[in-house]
């Protein structure tokens, strides 16, 4: 249940992540422009930008000035000296920069240095310099680099050039007001969430899908059964021993074919506790060896049914033990490891990926156990040993460690596939998982063996590591499912 819940959660989170990532690059994408507005303070009829403001965000700027309907407005570009000289002693607003991405900071302008000369001229030219009832029109001056005049709203484009070019915007005519300035710059709209969102989401999604598949498998087995694996676990404080035995039994199977015996002998033991959790075990164990000895099944099922008859649902028990074993086993395995010879080398990889290793351990053991195909079966241990040694010893080559881990994952899968007859579906799943784990490097690497070089690049990407992890999960699920 928890697994399914987590799977759904992951899928939802994954979809959400992808959706969010895509949305930030499309719907929620920041606009390609920065539009900032300057609202004049009300003094004077002119607004002047400070040097550097026009090129604040980008060299390309579009300026738009708006005055009340029907009034005339002029935009002019010139050097700061020229513009301030032109403005002279008249009050004006100075645009000093951005106060936010949407707002330009405006401050009362300070008169230019050469104001005295300018003032002299103004006094002769325009008597009402102090309180301009009429907004002077800068249009047509020789000093402007560029200018535009119009009614109500005018705009102009400017590509920033070397020099101290500033903008003069002036409301013109009687009762003129300082125009409202709007500067628009193009901007490289970055989409910082796109790839993290999509990749992270995809990761979660795939993770969730695998978990869901795993959950479904187990759910099929345990269809109708109300108990959750965790419930089983918690109920097993007492039958802990038998359970561990069961685990050992598996190990025993793995290490030696003789291990089947205790397994077969278990049913009575299970029967004793009469608890659902323990009763679960028999069906599974028989199942694995069941391939070898199909005759066990009929024997067990009768045993089971009496045990389970008190329970409302007989079937779930079949799967449940698997569950407990496949998921629950790792914990006991940690403790069991020292007892059984094979786990010892396996503990070495654990530091590489602790949670994975324990899960993997089961598989490997199982893969070994059947030994149906000696050649295939021989391989995994051979590799494992080097791997076990590789992880701690080959410190200098860190890139190899994950690669080895990957190869390792592929191996148990392969060995399991070859070692034990598997359903087609299972095979397919494994292949898929393997392929996914290896991703692009797959064609380059024909066999899983030559780990070090070609695969060295892959493990570095988190996705491949995650894929490996995923694979492990998926495979385990499959294992348990069968």
Partner 1 sequence: MRRTTTRATAVVATVLATGLLTGCAEELPTPKPEAPVAAAVVTQSQEREILDKVAGVVGEVTKAKDAEKLEPRLSGPALDIRETQLKVADARGDTEPLTDLTMEMQQVILPSDQEWPRSSFAITVQPKDLTTPVLMSFDQATARDQYKLWGWVRLLPGVTMPQFAEAELGSPAVPPDDESLKVTPTDAIKQYASALTVDKDSKYADSFADDDLRQFFRDYGKLQVDAINKEECRGAFKVEYEPTKDPVKAVRTADGGALVMAAMISQETITAREEGCEIGPPTKTTQALWGDTDVTNVVEVNYKDMVAMYVPPKDSDDEISLVGYEHVPSSVSNG
How far apart are CB 461 and partner 1 at their closest, in Å? 14
Interaction between residue 68 and partner 1 (CB under 8 A) = no
For the CB of residue 340, give the shortest distance to partner 1 in the complex, in Å. 22
Please, are residues 320 and 224 in contact by the beta-carbon 8 Å criterion?
no
Q: In whole angstroms, how close is the CB of 301 to partner 1 at the nearest point? A: 30
Residue 70 C-beta: closest distance to partner 1, Å: 25
- Residue 478: what are its φ and ψ, rounded to 5°? -65, -45
Q: Of 109-117, 251-259, 410-418, 440-448, which segment contacts partner 1 by CB under 8 A?
A: 109-117
200 scored as a contact of partner 1 (CB under 8 A): yes
Residue 302: CB partners within 8 Å, gap ≥ 6? none
Edge-to-edge strand ranges of the sheet holding 60-66 = 33-38, 180-186, 60-66, 153-159
Contact pattern from residue 180 through residue 199 relative to partner 1, giving x for each residue in contact according to CB under 8 A and a dash for the rest: ----------x-xx--xx-x
Q: Which is nearer to partner 1, 324 or 379 (CB)?
A: 324
From residue 354 to residue 393, the character string flagging contacts with partner 1 as x (rule: CB under 8 A) and all else as - is xx--------------------------------------
Kind plus residue range of the DSSP H or E element containing 137: none
Cβ contacts of residue 310 below 8 Å, gap of 6+? 274
Q: Is 125 in the site for partner 1 (CB under 8 A)?
A: yes
For residue 117, the tally of other CB atoms under 10 A from its CB is: 12
User: What's the start-to-end Cα distance of the chain, in Å?
Assistant: 19
Q: Which is nearer to partner 1, 230 or 347 (CB)?
A: 230
Which segment (37-45, 203-211, 288-296, 420-428) binds partner 1 by CB under 8 A? 203-211
Contacting positions for partner 1 (CB under 8 A): 2-3, 6, 10, 13, 17, 21, 24, 50-53, 55-57, 79-82, 85-86, 88, 96-101, 113-114, 117-118, 120-122, 124-126, 136, 138, 140-143, 145, 162-164, 190, 192-193, 196-197, 199-201, 203-204, 207, 230, 327, 354-355, 466, 473
């Amino acid at each position: 249940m928890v697994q399914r819940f987590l799977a759904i959660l992951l899928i939802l989170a994954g979809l959400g992540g992808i959706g969010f990532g895509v949305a930030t690059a499309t719907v929620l994408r920041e606009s390609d422009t920065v539009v900032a507005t300057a609202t004049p303070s009300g003094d004077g009829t002119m607004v002047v930008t400070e040097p550097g403001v026009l090129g604040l965000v980008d060299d390309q700027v579009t300026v738009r000035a708006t005055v009340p309907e029907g009034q005339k407005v002029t935009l002019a570009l010139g050097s700061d000296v020229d513009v301030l000289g032109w403005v002279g002693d008249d009050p004006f607003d100075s645009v000093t920069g951005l106060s936010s991405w949407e707002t330009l900071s405006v401050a009362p302008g300070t008169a230019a240095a050469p104001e005295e000369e300018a003032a002299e001229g103004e006094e002769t030219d325009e008597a009402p310099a102090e309180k301009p009832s009429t907004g002077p029109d800068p249009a047509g001056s020789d000093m402007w680099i560029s200018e535009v005049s119009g009614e109500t709203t005018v705009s102009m484009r400017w590509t920033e050039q070397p020099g101290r070019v500033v903008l003069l915007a002036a409301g013109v005519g009687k009762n003129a007001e300082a125009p409202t300035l709007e500067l628009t710059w193009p901007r490289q709209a970055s989409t910082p969430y796109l790839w993290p969102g999509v990749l992270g989401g995809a990761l979660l999604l795939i993770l969730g899908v695998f978990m869901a598949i795993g959950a479904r498998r187990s759910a099929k087995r345990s269809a109708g059964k109300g108990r959750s694996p965790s419930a089983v676990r918690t109920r097993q404080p007492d039958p802990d021993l038998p359970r561990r035995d069961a685990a050992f039994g598996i190990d025993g199977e793995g290490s030696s074919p003789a291990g089947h015996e205790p397994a077969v002998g278990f049913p009575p033991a299970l029967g004793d506790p009469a608890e659902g959790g323990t009763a679960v075990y028999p069906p599974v164990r028989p199942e694995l060896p069941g391939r070898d000895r199909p005759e066990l099944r009929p024997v067990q099922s009768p045993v089971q049914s009496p045990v389970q008859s008190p329970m409302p649902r007989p079937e779930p028990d079949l799967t449940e033990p698997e569950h407990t074993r496949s998921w629950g086993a790792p914990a006991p395995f940690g403790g069991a490891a020292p007892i059984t010879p094979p786990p010892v080398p396996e503990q070495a990889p654990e530091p590489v990926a602790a949670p994975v290793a324990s899960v993997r351990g089961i598989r490997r053991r199982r893969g070994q156990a059947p030994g149906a195909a000696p050649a295939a079966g021989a391989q995994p241990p051979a590799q494992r040993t080097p791997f076990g040694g590789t992880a701690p010893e080959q410190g200098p080559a860190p890139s190899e460690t994950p690669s080895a881990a990957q190869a390792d994952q592929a191996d148990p899968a392969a060995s399991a596939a070859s070692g034990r007859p598997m359903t087609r579906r299972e095979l397919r799943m494994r292949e898929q998982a393997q392929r996914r784990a290896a991703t692009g490097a797959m064609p380059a690497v024909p066999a899983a063996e030559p780990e070090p070089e070609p695969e060295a690049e892959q493990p570095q990407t988190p996705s491949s590591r995650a894929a490996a992890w995923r694979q492990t999960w998926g495979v385990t699920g499959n294992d348990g499912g069968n």
